[in-house]
Amino acid sequence: MTRMKVNDVLGSLGLGILAILVVVAIFAPQIAPYDPHHTYKRMERPSSEHLLGTNDIGNDILSEVIYGTRVSLFIAFMVSITAITIGTSLGLIAGYSGGVAEFMIMRIVDIFLTIPRLVLIIVIAAFMPRSIWNLIAVFIIFGWVMTARIVRSEVLTLRNQYYVESARMLGGSNLYILWRHILPNVIPLVVVQFIMEAGHVIVAEAGLSFLGLGDPVARSWGTTFHYAFECPTLYTSDVWMWWMLPPGLCIVATVLGFTFVGYALEERLNPKLKTVVGMEI
Amino acid sequence: MLEVEGLTKQFSSGIMKKRNVSAVDCVSFHIKKGKTLGLVGESGCGKTTIGRLILRLVEPTSGKVVFDGIDLLSLKRSELRKIRPRMQMIFQDPDSSLNPRLKIGTSIAEPLRLHGTVPKDERAQKIMELVETVGLNPEHVNRYPYQLSGGQNQRVVLARILALNPDLIIADEPTSSLDVSVQAQILNLMRDLQKKFNHTYLFISHDLEVVKIMSDQIAVMYLGKLVEVGETTDVYNNAKHPYTQALLSSRRILLKGETPGPADIPTGCRFHPRCPQKQDKCAIEEPEPVEVEKGHYVACHLV
């Protein structure tokens, strides 16, 4: 199989996974058998009534995981959309205007890039009230950086294209040129960044929630993980099989989905990668 | 129509130790309405920079550019944007002069949309007119730049410029990336358009044959300075500057050495290290332009 075909297969696979997850997230109330906050008998083993059993306070685990899809995906998409929009705007400004604005933006980018992201996110999240919105805010603060850098470098080459100079001579304003001639040509890069960022956020959010920094009310997969770990009999019995494994697999599947789609898109949209022959994934 | 006086551009580099590179040094010429000035010189001598300076795509260090009685360098950005449609530039590479994501028709419509001179419902018809004027077919309108040849794309660029009905067109090597057969077509088209619309051209090229066909006047440039300016026939038949003579000679007078970079310009006459007729004076004193016959200026100690 050629590299291109491998990518197409992986891309469709990723798209399939993401589509299923989005459907589950949207229709969680219809799909989930129970209300995830309702308490039943505690620590039930899987049965026809509770397919994945119940947890230490008696919530149905399957429903919790299904509703968790909502929380995890919501955080991922909210962060990606906002962070990528901010990153793209700043990248456009830095690349196009040059001068002081570019200097300032790029120095801030440099500072952010030298800071170990996850460690700082954990520190900040630890000091903030535990809520979904605070998590989103913390991820956005660190999420825009790479996009700004990538967009800016692309704008630097686009800015010197003859058609951009032509547009200026034809009487186009800077805003017009950015909107009409530069933005459409950076969109492919931005889309790939969006997908990749969403994948990152899924992992980071799961990590934070696992550490107990997530929202205790809106439980994501990571939060389920967290409470599972607090259970003293987790390792001495087979409870982990229905309490830890399902949310863990969901996290892995989501990240794989985003990654596959991201790589496939990058290959499609970046002509420089198309000619690479040899190495198959 | 266009008067350029003492136009100078210095690029500086380095933060601690400023180093100035003078790309264009005190260039003066003028073009009458409906005429063509051919600007000749080898690559890197500053020809393209002159074109950009006139349009203020690059800001000049000093000098004066007067276009139709308006001093361009004193204009504010907003005033400049108003006058820009009257001066247009054609670039060397037609393929990258068009946004690859826009259809040909959309590209041609761009100036119409920006200036709103033609009402929306008449735009399609205007585009068809323009397409026909530059010798393209109506079906080209729905294609993308990569589906057309270089010559066809250069026609599209011309159509887009014509939409603005400009007075001055700066053509920066408009045919140098095209096949020879296509070159002739584009040059003929440009001459026909000039006759029809009374355009004034600044025609920048390194190709002497092309410049000879196109120009009424010729300016020869070496390392950022004009060394000889005059009517095309005068310059071709009676070249005074040793550099012009070398360029024009059919036997190809071979010049010694290579062109120095604009960062280290020789003292005195900047051509002296390579000049076959060099004198002692040339290395010390910079020659001023002298009028040798009417409208024919030469900057050389020998005349």
* Chain B touched by A173 (CB under 8 Å): yes
Residues B186 and B259 in one domain: no
Minimum distance, in Å, between the CA of residue A16 and any CA atom of chain B: 29
Residues B200 and B254 in one domain: no
* Chain A touched by B12 (CB under 8 Å): no
Q: What percent of chain B has pLDDT over 70?
A: 97
Q: Residue A175: which CATH number?
A: 1.10.3720.10
Residues B142 and B23 in one domain: yes
Is B9 within 8 Å of B53 (Cβ atoms)? yes
Q: What is the pLDDT of residue A81?
A: 96
Residues B169 and B248 in one domain: no
* Chain A touched by B87 (CB under 8 Å): yes
* In the predicted structure, residue A207 carries a pLDDT above the cut 50: yes
Q: What percent of chain B has pLDDT over 90?
A: 38
In a domain, B127, yes or no: yes
Q: What is the mean pLDDT of residues B259-287?
A: 84
Q: What is the pLDDT of residue B10?
A: 85
Residues B203 and B244 in one domain: no
Token pair 């040094």 in the structure block, residue: B25
Long-range contacts of B112-120 (CB under 8 A, 24+ apart): B112/B163, B114/A170, B114/A171, B114/A172, B114/A176, B115/A171, B115/B85, B115/B164
Chain B residue closest in CA terms to A184: B101
**Contact check, Cβ <8 Å, B85/A170:** yes
Q: How confident is the model at residue A24 (pLDDT cuts 50, 70, 90)?
A: very high
- Residue B258 CA from chain centroid, whole number: 24
The vertex-A118 CA angle with A116 and A121, nearest 5°, equals 105
Chain A residue closest in CA terms to B165: A170
Q: Which of B215, B231, B251 is the last residue in one of the domains?
A: B215
Substitution target in A162, A165, A174 with the highest count of B β-carbons within 10 Å is A162
Chain B residue closest in CA terms to A176: B114
Q: What is the pLDDT of residue B99?
A: 92
Beta-carbon count within 10 A of B59 CB: 9
In a domain, A43, yes or no: no
Sheet with B19-31, strands from edge to edge, namely B19-31, B2-13, B62-67, B70-71
* In the predicted structure, residue A189 carries a pLDDT above the cut 50: yes
Q: How far apart are CA A142 and CA B35, in angstroms?
A: 59
* Chain B touched by A127 (CB under 8 Å): no
Minimum distance, in Å, between the CA of residue A96 and any CA atom of chain B: 14
- The whole-model pTM stands at 0.82
- Give the pLDDT confidence of B49-81 residue by residue, as tens digits: 999 999 888 889 889 999 988 898 888 888 888
Is A154 within 8 Å of A189 (Cβ atoms)? yes
Q: What is the pLDDT of residue A281?
A: 37
* In the predicted structure, residue A164 carries a pLDDT above the cut 90: yes
* Chain A touched by B55 (CB under 8 Å): yes
Q: How far apart are CA A152 and CA B173, in angstroms?
A: 30
Contacting residues of A for B85, CB less than 8 Å apart: 170-171
In a domain, B303, yes or no: yes
Indicate the pairing of strand B217-222 with strand B62-67: unpaired
Residues B158 and B195 in one domain: yes
In a domain, A131, yes or no: yes
Q: What is the pLDDT of residue A277?
A: 44
Name the token pair of A118: 């996850």
Q: What is the pLDDT of residue A216?
A: 81
Q: Residue B139: which CATH number?
A: 3.40.50.300
Contact pairs from chain A to chain B, CB under 8 Å: 55
Minimum distance, in Å, between the CA of residue B194 and any CA atom of chain A: 19
Q: What is the mean pLDDT of residues B249-257?
A: 69
In a domain, B138, yes or no: yes
- Give the pLDDT confidence of B10-45 residue by residue, as tens digits: 887 766 666 778 888 889 998 999 999 999 988 878
Long-range contacts of B181-184 (CB under 8 A, 24+ apart): B182/B149, B182/B150, B182/B151, B183/B210
Q: How confident is the model at residue A153 (pLDDT cuts 50, 70, 90)?
A: very high
Contacting residues of A for B109, CB less than 8 Å apart: none
* Chain A touched by B33 (CB under 8 Å): no
| Lowest mean pLDDT, pick from A30-34, A142-146, B229-233, B256-260 | B256-260
Sheet with B36-40, strands from edge to edge, namely B87-90, B168-172, B200-205, B36-40, B217-222, B225-231, B296-298, B290-293
Contacting residues of B for A166, CB less than 8 Å apart: 89, 91, 97, 157, 160
In a domain, B230, yes or no: no
Q: What is the mean pLDDT of residues A176-190?
A: 92
* In the predicted structure, residue A43 carries a pLDDT above the cut 80: no
Q: What is the mean pLDDT of residues A243-256?
A: 91
Contacting residues of A for B110, CB less than 8 Å apart: 167, 170, 172
The boundaries of the domain holding residue A115 are 3-33+51-274
Indicate the number of domains in chain B. Answer: 2
Residues B184 and B59 in one domain: yes
Q: What is the mean pLDDT of residues B274-294?
A: 86
Identify which has the larger pLDDT, A224 or A7: A224
* Chain B touched by A116 (CB under 8 Å): no
In a domain, B223, yes or no: no
Residues B132 and B278 in one domain: no
| Lowest mean pLDDT, pick from A59-68, A190-199, B113-122 | B113-122
Q: What is the mean pLDDT of residues B118-139?
A: 90
* In the predicted structure, residue A275 carries a pLDDT above the cut 50: no
In a domain, B233, yes or no: no
| Lowest mean pLDDT, pick from A32-41, A133-142, A269-278, B189-198 | A269-278
Ramachandran region of residue B40, left (φ > 0), alpha (ψ -120 to 50) or beta?
beta
Is A36 within 8 Å of A60 (Cβ atoms)? yes
Q: What is the 3-state secondary structure (H, E, C) of B222-279?
A: ECCEEEEEEEHHHHHHCCCCHHHHHHHCCCCCCCCCCCCCCCCCCCCCCCHHHCCCCC
* Chain B touched by A185 (CB under 8 Å): yes
Q: What is the pLDDT of residue B14?
A: 67
Strands (E) across A61-157 are located at none
Identify which has the larger pLDDT, A22 or B270: A22
Mention every residue, 6+ apart, whose C-beta is less than 8 A from residue B102.
B110, B144, B145
Residues B177 and B111 in one domain: yes
Name the token pair of A232: 């003293």
Q: What is the pLDDT of residue A280?
A: 39
| Lowest mean pLDDT, pick from A53-67, B249-263, B271-285 | B249-263
Number of alpha carbons in the 13 Å side-chain half-sphere of residue A138: 25
Q: How far apart are CA B10 and CA B18, in angstroms?
A: 11
Indicate the number of domains in chain A. Answer: 1
* Chain A touched by B113 (CB under 8 Å): no
Residues B280 and B135 in one domain: no
Point out the residue among B82, B84, B98 whose CB comes nearest to the CB of A169. B84
- Give the pLDDT confidence of B127-136 residue by residue, as tens digits: 999 999 999 9
* In the predicted structure, residue A230 carries a pLDDT above the cut 70: yes
Contacting residues of B for A169, CB less than 8 Å apart: 55, 57, 84, 87-89
Contacting residues of A for B92, CB less than 8 Å apart: 162
Q: What is the mean pLDDT of residues A245-260?
A: 92
Residues B158 and B36 in one domain: yes
In a domain, B166, yes or no: yes
| Lowest mean pLDDT, pick from A187-201, B44-58, B145-159 | B44-58
* In the predicted structure, residue A52 carries a pLDDT above the cut 90: no
- Average pLDDT of the residues of chain B: 88
- In sign, the C-alpha dihedral spanning B31, B37, B43, B48 is positive
- Give the pLDDT confidence of A83-121 residue by residue, as tens digits: 999 999 999 999 999 889 999 999 999 999 998 888 888
Point out the residue among A161, A169, A180 whose CB comes nearest to the CB of B88. A169
**Contact check, Cβ <8 Å, A171/B55:** no
* In the predicted structure, residue B203 carries a pLDDT above the cut 90: yes
The boundaries of the domain holding residue B151 are 2-215
Residues B139 and B257 in one domain: no
151-170 in chain A: CB under 8 A from chain B: 161-163, 165-170
In a domain, B48, yes or no: yes
Is A267 within 8 Å of A7 (Cβ atoms)? yes
Is A42 within 8 Å of A58 (Cβ atoms)? yes
In a domain, A42, yes or no: no
